[in-house]
Amino acid sequence: MTTSTRFERVVAREVLDSRGRPTVEVDVRLVGGATGRAMVPSGASTGKHEALELRDHDSGRYNGLGVTVAVGNVNTVIGPALAESELRATDQAAVDRMLIDIDSTVSKSNLGANALLGVSMATARAGAAAEGVPLYRYLGGLTGGVGVIEPRLPLITVNIISGGAHGGQNLDMQDFLIVPVGAPDYRTSLEWSTRVRQSVAALLEAQGHHTHLVADEGGLAPFLSSHKQALDVIVAGIERAGLRPGRDADVAIAIDVAATEFYNGNEYVLATESSRLDAAGLIEVLASWTEQYPVVSIEDGLAEDDWDGWKALTERIGDRTLLIGDDLFTTNPGRLQRGVETGAANGVLVKLNQIGTLTETLQVIEDARQAGYIPVVSARSGETEDAFIADLAVGVAAPQFKVGSTTRSERTAKWNQLLRIEEELGAGAAYAGRDAFGR
């Protein structure tokens, strides 16, 4: 047992993500024989404060998006360093500390956050395998401050209509999603979600839209003439599915505005509606939607550095709306702290590759809890068949989980993993449901 969880070999390779772009896959093998594999996701509407995703910029391969340098950094720098060290894979915090130290930059630009994260995640998988426990239980045990967390299935947020950088700029805003708030358990929430998606697709078909071509996260991507049209068709789709739209009914609505993408440094430029708004103007639009529609959650309602706007938005509708910072916080403990101190947002999107190690990600979740902010574990628009985040969401009992649509296998890989975990936890499985808003 004494040497069994030390590192024997760490190997990376270049594989493809769901957009057909290269990404990093890492295999970790421990001396005792346990193994772990992980794949790194990649964003499109990335925040400028994210850790650096290292790309080759060799225009002769994959349009410059190759990751052979990041892969080489794992194979020739990180891997040998871990194999020569006394570190144990089960000491995740020490492994991640070493990764951060070898890289030695704040943005992880030296070796690449994609190189570091692949090793970090594969290490956790190998650690779980060595201990013979499911990944979600293992991850729950890593959260230092609060001790072992009881696994719980999250309330899901499901993409129905996509726009922005994920949908060919058909709409300015990025995601119109549903939240099956009234479902009694996870499995039912997933069935309701697929039913609503099919209903919305049928309604859009009837209006003459194409619904077989889908966006990056599998959402429908119709060219609508206003954002309210997206909200209207989703409400109608919920009803057509035989469910009741409403905050306290069966299915509510969430929006990822991804406002950074249409902020020009001065104004929010909405091409769909030919309008230009300042922060106050956009806040009024969003506030009016929370009155006219069962919108329970708004992500990135304002741009990533519009701290004053965020404070005003939170004062305006934060009492009745979950306001999630994605590009605003970039899963970064320092930025979350600034948000807590200034009263910006009341929730934080959690994406492993925005910060680059598992330990820092767990830290953000813990900090969010301490501050009364709701952590929402999330996929990226560029995903893989790796379902690590499903185990993460259950393991840390994250109240909410956002993966994209119910189509495309890189999305269903996560939904299906939650089905397996729900089965394994059995009849008494805890489910966040309505408690997922903490109020």
208 Cβ contact list (under 8 Å, min separation 6): none
Which of residues 125, 247, 311, 380 is near ligand PGA by CB under 6 A? 380
- How far, CA to CA in Å, does 421 sit from each of 56, 214, 348, 412, 416? 38, 28, 24, 14, 9
Active-site residue among 50, 217, 360, 422?
A: 217
Beta strand 7-16 pairing with 155-162: unpaired
Neighbours of 439 (CB within 10 A): 10
Tokens at residue 180, please?
A: 């099956």
Out of 27, 216, 326, 422, the only residue in the binding site for Zn ion (CB under 5 A) is: 326
**Residue closer to ligand PGA, measured from CB, 167 or 180:** 167
Beta bridge partners of 157: 402
414 counts as catalytic: no
The nearest distance, CB 341 to ligand PGA, in angstroms, is: 24
Q: Which of 36, 43, 79, 237 binds ligand PGA (CB under 6 A)?
A: 43
C-alpha span between 115 and 356 (Å, rounded): 8
The angle subtended at Cα 63 by Cα 60 and Cα 68, nearest 5°, is 75
Closest contact distance (angstroms) between CB of 406 and ligand PGA is 16
Residue among 120 and 378 whose Cβ is closer to ligand PGA: 378
Q: Could you count the other beta carbons within 10 Å of the beta carbon of residue 425?
A: 19
What residues does 391 pair with on adjacent strands?
none
172 binds ligand PGA (CB under 6 A): no
Letter string b/e over residues 158-182, b meaning 16 or more CB atoms within 10 A of that residue's CB: bbbbbbbbbbeebbbbbbbbbbbbb
- Active-site residue identified among 108, 351, 402, 414: 351
Work out whether 256 is an interface residue with Zn ion (CB under 5 A).
yes
What stretch of H or E contains 391?
Answer: helix 388-395
Q: How many residues bind ligand PGA (CB under 6 A)?
A: 11
Q: State which residue, 16 or 44, has the beta carbon closest to ligand PGA.
A: 44
Residues 215-234 contacting ligand PGA, CB under 6 A: none
248-277: which residues touch ligand PGA (CB under 6 A)?
Answer: 256, 258
Interface pattern 311-340 for ligand PGA (x via CB under 6 A) = ---------------x--------------
**Which partner, Zn ion, ligand PGA, none, binds residue 399 by CB below 5 to 8 Å per kind?**
none
With CB under 6 A as the contact rule, which of the stretches 90-98, 99-107, 335-343, 377-385 interacts with ligand PGA? 377-385
Q: Does 53 bind Zn ion (CB under 5 A)?
A: no
Active site residue 205: no
> Which of ligand PGA, Zn ion, none interacts with 180 (beta carbon under 5 to 8 A by kind)?
none
Nearer to Zn ion among residue 28 and residue 113 (C-beta): 113
**Alpha-carbon gap, residue 287 to 245, rounded angstroms:** 18
Among 45, 73, 75, 260, binds ligand PGA (CB under 6 A): 45
**Taking CB under 5 A as the rule, does residue 217 contact Zn ion?**
no
CA distance 269 to 82: 48
The one-letter code for the residue type at 3 is T
Angle at 216 between CA 211 and CA 220, to 5 degrees: 20
Per rule CB under 6 A, is residue 297 in the interface with ligand PGA? no
Interacting residue ranges for ligand PGA, rule: CB under 6 A: 43-46, 174, 256, 258, 326, 378, 380-381
Supply the residues annotated as catalytic: 217, 351
